[in-house]
Every structure is written in C-alpha cells, then in structure tokens.
Amino acid sequence: MATRRGGKERMPLLFVFDMDDVLYRYDFRVRMAHLTEHLGYDLDELRRRWWHEDGELKAEAGGFADADEYLSAFQRAMESDISAEDWIRYRSNGMTPDHESIAAAARAAELGDVTLLTNNGPLLGKYLPTVAPLLVPIFGEHLHTSSEYGARKPDPKVFERAIAAHGGRPETTFFADDLQINVDGARSIGVTAHRYDGDAAALLTAIEEFARERGRLAS
C-alpha cells in the first residue's frame, strides 16, 4: 500500500516469489505415484488425461472459475470421484520446504511487501495455506496462484496483473523463479528478476541488493 513521505506518495518495494522449486522443492513424480496408486493410471496416461493445454495448463491460466469447477473437470478427466482431500494430500506429499529460501522470503517481507505467484489452478489456490503452511506467517493472505489473474507465467499479463493487484510498479518489483522463461517474462515488463537455482544465499544477496538499489525509487 502506498504511503506518503514529505508530501509525496511512497510506493513500497514488492517482492514476488514462485513456490515450486523456489520456496518448496516439488517432486512431481512422487505426486504422480500417489495418483497412479489411487487411479490405476501410469504417468503417461495421467499426462494424457490432464496435464495438457485443455487441462492443467487451462486451469493455471484461469480457465476454471473456482476450486469446485476445477475438481469436477479433473474427476471427469480421470473418470474418478477422487476427493479434494486426496488431491491435496498427494500434492502435499510431493513438497518439501526449502527453509533457507523461505528465510530469504522472510527477509524480503522486512524490506517491502511480499506475494506468492505460482503457476497453479484454483483448487491448489484454495488450499495453499494447507500445502505450504510455512509461508502463511510471511505472506499472510497474499498466497496466490496464476489462475487468479487469468494468465500463467511467462505471459507478461500475469506479472502486470499481480503487480497492479498489490499496488506496485514493475520498476520497484523483484521476482524470483526457478525457470528462466518465467524470469524473462518478468524482465520483459521491467521487473528485476532472479533465477533461483537452489542457492539460497545468492537469492538473499539479490534481495538485499535490489532493496539497496531500488529502494530510492520507492520514495
């Protein structure tokens, strides 16, 4: 939220973080193994049924209105009445917190506003506090999936909409993601973006440097 200093509007720094393979390590195959056991489909069949442009990618871009609509579509694709609870449990089982990068995000929260931006659909969005509980004290209510913005990374629109939703500006926004294509998407609109390769110390350094170099633009 903008504040005033010396009669001028002051725009705080905004720090945007990806979740999978940045704040939490994500093992897709662990999750798929649970789905295989539950549904009886191997990995190739799971991909054929859902992980494509008319399934998960559509969901990530806002193609399903809410968690219930997403789950119904997933159930139809899988020809199963799999519950939201099982879906969330299998997703969580593939996730392990990266405590050092989470600590870097906590430092960012001391320097400005923070928000999550993960390419995921509305069902995960509804349960983000459940699957990523260590993020709640840092991000509060600002745990968001791309589906909420009607576009998915690396589309520049998702960055523009996320920044606008938090009252920010590209030039005073920092973004961290593990995929270079997403980093490039953020940079295309003037965001300072850092590719996370597992080096939490480098992430923290990038956050601190951004705060020093860009902090003057926020005043």
Residues 114 and 88 both lie in one domain: no
Q: Which helix (H) or strand (E) holds 202?
A: helix 200-214
| 66 and 156 both lie in a single domain | no
pTM of the model: 0.93
Same domain? For 22 and 32 the reply is no
What pLDDT is recorded for position 8? 43
On whether both 7 and 106 belong to a single domain, the answer is yes
Domain final position from 42, 73, 93: 93
Whether 61 and 121 map to the same domain: the answer is no
Assign residue 102 the CATH number of its domain: 3.40.50.1000
SS3 177: strand
Domain boundary among 73, 93, 113: 93
Contact between 114 and 15 under an 8 Å Cβ cutoff? The reply is yes
Q: Are residues 104 and 176 in the same domain?
A: yes
Residues 138 and 212 in one domain: yes
Q: Answer whether the bond into residue 154 is a cis peptide, omega within 30°.
A: yes
Answer yes or no: do 126 and 19 share one domain.
yes
* pLDDT number for residue 10: 56
93, 114, 140 — which closes off a domain? 93
Residues 49 and 114 in one domain: no
Residue 76: which domain range? 28-93
Q: What is the mean pLDDT of each run of 10 residues along the chain (219 residues)?
A: 44 94 98 98 98 98 98 98 98 98 98 98 98 98 98 98 98 98 98 98 98 72
180 and 82 in a common domain: no
Q: Does residue 47 share a domain with residue 133?
A: no
Predicted local confidence at residue 7, as pLDDT: 39
Pair (8, 32) in one structural domain: no
**What is 82-108 written as a DSSP string?**
--HHHHHHHHHHTEEE-HHHHHHHHHH
What pLDDT is attached to residue 216? 58
Question: What's residue 214's pLDDT?
Answer: 86
| Total count of domains within the chain | 2
